[in-house]
Every structure is written in structure tokens, then in C-alpha cells.
Amino acid sequence: MKIRTFAIGYILALALFLFAQHRPDAAETSGFRGVVDLTHTINAQVPTYELAAKPAYRVKTVATIDKDGYFAREISLPEHFGTHLDAPAHFVQGMWTVDQIPAERLIAPLAVIDVSANVKGNADYQISVEDIAAWEHVHGQIPLNSVVMTRTGWDSRWNSVKDYRNADSKGVMHFPGYSEDAAHFLVEGRKVLGIGIDTLSIDYGPSKDFPVHQYDLRHSVYQLENVANLDHAPASGGIVTVAPMKLEGGSGAPVRILALVR
């Protein structure tokens, strides 16, 4: 019996080996041509919404290969740091914390709206329903249960905290965000699962009461902020995977966002 089990196991292993040898290109089998990483790399230079006295991101090497035989570090950072996800619990008590967002909401069709031309000359630009209508005129209706991201072009400022925050002499920041009407249309009219942007906040820089945050999160729609590389993502037809760190009780978390390109 044991010999027979062994023989079957051996044949299976051999079959798998041969199959692997003749496996066609992985991209072909998955049906995707490529992957676009929509995530900024985390480091100490990451711009933050609030200006803190001490560095928001701290990293300490706790083991080295020379000394310990392996390399490891300890990190400390805010939940809302770098490319990150806002969970509904960020603004509304009793709503999903980041670990509670159902996994099936984290993979979705991706629509990328480009308003970078409108942002030139108006840092306080607010994405409008007209911008969404213009996208739909070209690409058709945004599929229900999508994740919608807007490219404002702001990520070209990522390497300068000053330019990315773009605060005036009174400390008021100026960067683009979503208008309330656009958010209402996406959430109610297109049933989006998540909304993303390549700036520090879904609400535009001067906002004091964050109406889009209040609205989206109350409707169980998660938000993705400081999204990267949207100029490389397809405007339509892509699939996005949104993989936040699964922090129990978290108001949000750093997130790895990948766009799969068909």
C-alpha cells in the first residue's frame, strides 16, 4: 500500500514537473498582459496630511545577516501613511474596520478618470459629474461594483513634501479632490466599491469638514489615497486588487494596489 501511494505520488510529481516545463507564458494563461503597481514605496520622505514634530515613519534594524544570520527590521507608522486605504470606520462609528471589509470587495473592475488637464492652473480642482460623463462618453458606463480612481497628475510632486502638500501662508493645503456631487453619482449611480485619488485626500486640500469622506465611508465605500502611477493604468478594462494590511480594528492601513491589464 505504501509503495503504491509512493508510486502514485511520484507519478503525480513527475506529471506536475513535465507540465511546468511546458507551461505556456503565465501572462497568457491568466489572460492579463501586465501588472501596474499603483503603490508608492514607503520611506521616511513620504508626505503626510498632518505635519508632525517627530518623524511619522520609524524603522529600526533588529537583526543583520552578518551578526544574526538573518535580516529583519521593526517599523512604526500611522495607519494613514503612503498609499493607504481609509476604512468606513475612519469617520463613522460601527462601520467596517479595515480587517472587516469583505475580501470580495477588494478585487474589482478598474476605471481611471484623468482630470490632469483641468488641474493645471487650478490646484483646488474638484472632480465633477461632467468629468465622469466625459469618461463614460468614451468608454461606456462605469461597470457596477467597480473601483474608480482619478488621476490628477499630482503624483509628479510626490518627491517634494512641500509641493505635494502645497500649503499656503496660512497653512491651508491646495490639491485636487472629488466634488460631493461626483461622489454621490459614483456611489448611488454606479455602486462603486472604492474611490481612489493620487493626492493626500479624497476631499480637496482646503476642505475643513471632509464631506466626501463623510459620505463615502457612511455608504461602506472605502477610499484609496496617495495612489501612484495612474498614468500607466488603463482607463478602462483593467482589474484592480486592493490589499491593505489586515489590522484588527484598524481605521485604515497601508495598501498594495495592483492593476491587472488585459
Q: Which one, 32 or 210, has the nearer CB to Zn ion?
A: 210
| CB 251, min distance to Zn ion, A | 8
Point out the residue whose Cβ comes nearest to Zn ion: 80
Beta-carbon-side half-sphere exposure of residue 241 (alpha carbons within 13 Å): 9
Q: Where are the beta strands (DSSP E) in 64-181?
A: 72-76, 84-86, 107-114, 126-127, 147-151, 177-178
Contact residues: Zn ion, CB under 5 A: 80, 86, 225
| CB 80, min distance to Zn ion, A | 4
Q: Kindly list the catalytic residues.
A: 90
The C-alpha atoms of residue 33 and residue 262 are separated, in whole angstroms, by 5
232 by Cβ neighbours in 10 Å (0-12 / 13-18 / 19+) ranks as middle
Note the residue count of the chain.
Answer: 262
Q: Which one, 85 or 192, has the nearer CB to Zn ion?
A: 85
| CB 148, min distance to Zn ion, A | 17
Q: Which one, 118 or 214, has the nearer CB to Zn ion?
A: 214
Q: Which one, 89 or 112, has the nearer CB to Zn ion?
A: 89
Terminus-to-terminus CA distance in the chain, angstroms?
Answer: 48
| CB 81, min distance to Zn ion, A | 9
